[in-house]
Chain A
Amino acid sequence: MTDPDIRAIYLEELVKIAPDLDAEDIANEDHLQDDLELDSMDILNFVSALHARLGIDIPEVDYPRIATLWQAQPYLLARLRDESGG
């Protein structure tokens, strides 16, 4: 999986949880809670959606690392590599 794939999945799952958002308007540095106004239940649902889609566990302590697209791309890619053992 590549950066653009991760980006697309992140945005797809995000607008499913928060359909008031438009994927095209979301900037790399937009913060899930501060800028996009997700609440903590949204974050939990988003994490479950990413888990279902990518098969990776995101521990609670790492939630801040998916708070923006910018941070999430390298983080999710690294997690995927860890999970696949390589």
Chain B
Amino acid sequence: MEQTESTIVTSVRVAATDPWSQARDLIDAPDGFINIAYEAVDRHVQHGHGSDPAMLWLGKAGERREFDYADLAEQSSRFANVLAAHGLSKGDSGFVLMGRVPELYIAALGTLKAGLVFTPLFSAFGPEPIRTRMEIGSANVLVTTPQLFKRKIAGWVHELPSLKLVLIVGETAPDGCTALGPAMAAASPEFEAVKTGPEDPALIHFTSGTTGKPKGAVHVHEAVRYHAYSGRDALDLRPGTVYWCTADPGWVTGTSYGIIAPLVNRTRMIVDEAEFDLDRWYGTVQREKVQVWYSAPTAIRMLMRSGAEAAARYDFSSIRFLASVGEPLNPEAVLWSEKVFGQPFHDNWWQTETGGIMIANRPGMKVRPGSMGKPMPGIEAGIVERDGEGVRELKTGEIGELALRPGWPSMMRAYLHEEARYRKCFVDGWYLSGDLAMRDPGGYFWFVGRADDLIKTSGHLIGPFEVESALIEHPAVAEAGVIGVPDETAGEVVKAYVTLVPSFAPEEDLERDIRGHARKKLGPAVAPREVVFRTTLPKTRSGKIMRRLLKARELGLPEGDISTLEGDET
């Protein structure tokens, strides 16, 4: 295996003009045009695979719906025609906000097919994160469900001038919206994918920043080459593979590896509408004979908590490869999975910005429990330290910032409308990830922590600023500092330190009221699980709350450089 790997790396470096030529054969790219939806579904139909199973959808109430590639091609064409009929065209911005229902997958493919830029939003977001993202992305069309529209959108939708069309899943729609069911039925099932160029924008995924608003990472249609390649080589996806990615498309994993990579590789993908449920999950793997399973540490640790006995009643012999992403998978979970499934979970690492898996314990590689693995063939990774204006590379065993040499097809091309923030990510020809890591003598990379204040909870990156902004909208809250505190299941959970407006007293009822307010605004995934009261918060001379210091104290760690500390915590 090591031999093969080094051979591939060498050949990639030799082909310096187009190091990704090896990934070219994995897609059609007719006449040099690349459209993700064409590569994911239409071309399989053209090549005679229309009746191959593409998606098995499992509904919350036990429903089952099967789609073959011809079904997805037809449904996404109808959807693309609905968009075109409303005057939407190449380069316009399409958002979806819904749970994992079939319409989400059809809308994703149809949006791309019509040449629009696709942005999925997590349906558990509260109204505020939804609105911020739709404003930054100048949404032209939104697809959502009647319930989500009523609860999270209806109150402010008229204040979004860019929005031309709201499609509501089902047969009826509120005033000013269009019902998707009848519109799809009336639309033609034929639509030729819009001829998008490799560098035309295709996807925008939002990611949190330490300060300021969330950033929209822009990915282009050429990214599909890397999705095809990494799906095959990091996840072992082959035509016909029964594959289950448990991630929600509202996060980048659920789109790159929950829609695009499996379809491009012509797998049969499983989509489960329901949230984590032990027996349901084990039952699905057994009944559907799942071969490749891609999940996240939080879920894996929940399986672990239930013990080996709960797993022993099931037959997992179909499993061929297990992978995990989102945050470091602890060594105990790796060893446990090997015992229970006969296969260890293979951890891998990547980010919204990278669009695809960068560092991985790949199929056939020996897993080092707790390590994220080695760079994918064709990807050059290093550990660097900022050094004045530039960076310098660190040696094996030293802890520094994980950096990558840009150039692979799924790398982001911009942060939407944020040129300065985008440029800041690149120094001396490296892309700086913001994650701290180290490389061991065997070439395996190990995650150490975040270089900034971002919080990693249940595999999601949360920006403290967005949480703090929502907290100070509460009438009792004067100031807020938000950090992540360690949690054995979620990795980290969000905790807030707040000071109060003088007329309010720090009482239990108020703590709950503030948390309730944050949950309503932000949704449970983003809102703090704990709020504590302080009289003052530690601040720099310029008045910035020192989250780093709050965290060091929470963890009982050394406080580091506090020379800029002006007012301390009381």
A interface residues (Cβ-Cβ under 8 A, vs B): 15-16, 18-21, 33-34, 37-42, 44-45, 59-61, 63-64
Contact = CB atoms under 8 A, between A and B. Distances in A.
B449 interface: no
Interface residues of B, number: 30
Contacts of B280: 64
Interface string B290-301: 000000001100
Contacts of A45: 529
Contact of B302 (A18, A37, A59, A60): A60
Contacts, number: 61
A75 B401 CA distance: 50
A20 B302 contact: no
Contacts of B490: 41
Please provide the 4 A-B residue pairs with the shortest distance between their CB atoms, ordered closest to farther. A19-B516, A60-B306, A20-B519, A19-B512
A21 B520 CA distance: 9
A63 to B, nearest CB: 7
A34 B59 CA distance: 12
Interface in B277-312: 277-280, 298-299, 302, 305-306, 310
Given A41-B493, A44-B489, A61 B278 contact: yes
Nearest to B490: A41
B524 interface: yes
A40 B513 CA distance: 21
A42 to B, nearest CB: 6
Given A40-B298, A63-B278, A64-B277, A20 B520 contact: yes
Contacts of A33: 275
Interface string B67-85: 0000000000000000000
Nearest to A64: B277
A19 B519 contact: yes
A29 to B, nearest CB: 13
B489 A59 contact: no
A26 to B, nearest CB: 14
Contacts of A21: 516
B515 A61 contact: no
Contacts of B525: 39
Given A41-B490, A60-B305, 19 more contacts: A16-B512, A18-B516, A18-B524, A19-B512, A19-B515, A19-B516, A20-B515, A20-B517, A34-B60, A37-B523, A37-B524, A40-B458, A41-B489, A41-B493, A41-B524, A59-B310, A60-B302, A61-B278, A64-B277
